[in-house]
Amino acid sequence: MRGFLDANVVLRYLTGEPIELALRARQIIDTEVELVLTDGTLAEVAYVLMQRYGVARAVAVDSLITFVRKRNVSIWRIDKDTILQALHLCRPSGRVSVADAMLWAAVRSTADTIIYSFDQHFPSDGISVRQDL
């Protein structure tokens, strides 16, 4: 059996709030069931942790890294190691958002390693960032 996780389940698991939902999240996550996250879900969780809960960027990213490393967690269509690299790219940097790091991971996971972006700080490790054709 395999199931996708919504950001709200991951957030309850990571924050422990509210306690009733946090307990239910643990019952879902701390199992042998294969759980799948999308890169968009990871970006949403990071955003909510930092914006709504006021969690420092490094702490939020470290929480996601620990979560992604869980044995029963996989990332939809992106290699787990690439996602972990992406999280490490944005952890120390206020310039690289988690959403951009997830986009970098998606591009890195394909044969087409070109991204068109006007962002001067878009991570370019292993991909080609272009502003024109």
Domains of the chain: 2-130 (3.40.50)
pLDDT tens digits along 30-66: 999 999 999 999 999 999 999 999 999 999 999 999 9
Contact 42, 11 (CB under 8 A): no
Q: Is 73 helix (H, G, I), strand (E, B) or coil?
A: strand
Q: Is 75 helix (H, G, I), strand (E, B) or coil?
A: strand
pTM of the model: 0.93
| Conformational region of residue 92, where left means phi above 0, alpha means psi within -120 to 50, and beta covers everything else | alpha
Average of per-residue pLDDT across 15-43: 98
d(CA 21, CA 23): 5
CB neighbour burial string for 73-96, b if at least 16 within 10 angstroms, e if fewer: bbbeebeeebbbbbbebbbeeeeb
Q: Is the pLDDT of residue 94 over 90?
A: no
Q: How confident is the model at residue 3 (pLDDT cuts 50, 70, 90)?
A: very high
Cis peptide before 123 (omega within 30 of 0): no
Q: What is the DSSP-derived secondary structure letter of residue 71?
A: T
